[in-house]
Structure 1
Amino acid sequence: MAAHTLSLSTQTTSTGASYSQHNYRLPNSFPPSLTQILRPQSLQSPWLGTAKLFFQSCSLITPLSKHRPINATVLFSLPTAKPERVSSTEIVPKWSSKAIKSFAMGELEARKLKYPTTGTEALLMGILIEGTNVAAKFLLANGISIFKVREETMKLLGKGDMYYFSPEHPPLTESAQRALDWAVDEKLKSGESGEITPTHLLLGVWSEKESAGHKIMAALGFNEEKAKELETLISKRGSLED
């Protein structure tokens, strides 16, 4: 594309001060009047024109960005370490909206605590922060609140580095990924219709015996008896959430 070339050289002001100017190539798409902007408005402010060009250029570009489409990601499923499920003929149940929100809240909590990964402790906190699901209500009824879980998390894992910036989506730990896959597998084994709920996710966290989430739940009084009670509850309710 043809371009206008504007050559500027070193000049000296009446006071003896000198300043350097360079060659600028302006595309034909710029208004011709912009070639005048580079000329100093006076010898007392030789760079005023260059600064004005910069801001004029920004004003030419900014309106275009307003018309760019907004990229938005909507989650309909959660990460899996078993992608063969998707390609199989078997119908894989979907995660409920509350389960997906619980997962997202867990990621956010991991970022707030300055942790580099999303672990089972974060999934547990996400379920409680979502708050409206059956699993969260069951935990609260048994004295397990988000505040207690945060406190136990700090005791077990310590505080994150205050100067560390977690990624937007902290990667899952291996135990957290297994908890997600356990929830899907258990739903498939049940043969029941419906979606995978936060209750399945909570039991998936409990299934990871050596994980931080399991240890925190155990420290706060959750045990196998309560896990069986929760399993019985969801088998009676199906996949319905309050």
Structure 2
Amino acid sequence: MAASTHSLSRLHLQIPSIRIPTSCNSCPSLSLSSLSSQNSFLGTLSFSITPHSRLFPISPTTKLRSITATISFNRPTSNPDNAAAEQAAKWSWRAIKSFAMGQLEARKLRYANTGTEALLMGIIIEGTSLAAKFLRAHGITLTKVREECTKLLGKGDMFYCSPMCPPLTESAQKALDWAVNHKLNSGENGEVTTTDMLLGIWSEKDSPGHKILAALGFDDEKAEELKTLSSKPGFHEG
């Protein structure tokens, strides 16, 4: 269980011993002292490489120095009243991947924000979770969701460049907050899963994600069926 537990409050990834030359007179300099972006789900993403170095074709005679890359995630809460509770919430790796895939999908569609429709597509793209399999079993596929999304929201401007991390819409943030609160209020000790995310999307009645699901045949009865499946003894999404 410990191995599969992920907290979005703080995550470090260190990549040691990437070989970069300390000097090269023929190549432009590369300075990546700090790159950062922020969204309300993952919070601040910072990427740093030290020391200052130059890019060049590596040769055996060149002096090399190791560098360390650090990626940090901080998840601020959108609701101060739930700050303590959200810090205790753990997210399954499938939920984290689904969010990342949803954010990428928003960029591919050239949308300015990551909405509930993008979160829904992220769940389907991840593909291995109970929620994704349940949707496919009921005929809700990525192609159909994209088609409904285009009908509802239109196509993105082909000349528009989406942010690196498109911020969450208000309804998407509420859907994720619902997922956290649902897990914590259930009294279960497990992780926030893609099922919680999907039910959170469904809880936002006026959101694009809810409307797309409804148009493709998802309803309250199916939501209860999914909730029942995820509540079976011994179920663990991972």
Which residue in 2 is equivalent to 1:138? 134
Which residue of structure 1 aligns with residue 210 of structure 2? 214
- Alignment pair present for 1:174 and 2:170: yes
**2:92 corresponds to which residue?**
96
Measured after TM superposition, the shift of residue 115 of structure 1 is 0.3
- The residue that corresponds to 1:73 in the other structure is 71
How far apart in 2 are the matches of 1:177 and 1:90?
13
Please give the alpha-carbon distance, in whole angstroms, between the structure 1 residues aligned to 2:85 and 2:168.
27
Using the alignment, how far apart are the partners of 1:177 and 1:193 within structure 2?
Answer: 23
Q: Deviations over 1:44-98 (max 9, x none)?
A: xxxxxxxxxxxx85548569346574544265x7664125544x37872201100
> Greater relative contact order: 1 or 2 (C-alpha under 8 angstroms, separation 6 or more)?
2
CA distance in 1, matches of 2:212, 2:132: 15
**What's 1:112 paired with?**
108
- Evaluate the alpha carbon distance shift between residue 219 and residue 237 of structure 1 in structure 2; reply closer, same or farther with a 3 A threshold: farther
- Hey, what does 1:35 align to over in structure 2? none
- Two-structure CA RMSD over aligned residues (Å): 2.5
Residue type of the alignment partner of 2:101: M
**Matches of 2:123 and 2:75, distance apart in 1:** 14
1:132-187 CA-partner distances (Å, limit 9, x unpaired)? 00000000000000110001000000000001000110010000000000000000
CA distance in 2, matches of 1:163, 1:213: 25
CA distance in 1, matches of 2:234, 2:185: 13
Give the aligned partner of residue 6 of structure 1. Answer: none
Pairs within 5 Å for 1:47-66 = 57-59=25-27, 61=29, 64-65=53-54
| Residue aligning to 1:39 | none
| 2:181 is aligned with 1:185 | yes
User: Is 1:195 the counterpart of 2:191 in the alignment?
Assistant: yes
| CA distance 1:208–1:164, change in 2 (3 Å) | same
Q: 88-97 or 134-143, which moves further after superposition?
A: 88-97
The equivalent of 2:59 in structure 1 is none
Distance change (3 Å), C-alpha of 1:94 and 1:164 = same
- CA positional deviation for 1:233: 1.0
Matched residue count? 185
TM-score by length of 1: 0.69
Q: Which has the larger radius of gyration?
A: 1
Q: % of aligned pairs identical?
A: 60
TM-score by length of 2: 0.70
- Judge conservation of contact 1:79–1:177 (CA < 8 Å) in 2: no
Q: Label 1:237 to 1:78 Cα distance change in 2 as closer, same or farther (>3 A).
A: farther
| Secondary structure of 2:90 counterpart | coil
- 8 Å Cα contact 1:85/1:92 also seen in 2: no
Q: Which runs of 5+ in 1 are unaligned?
A: 1-55
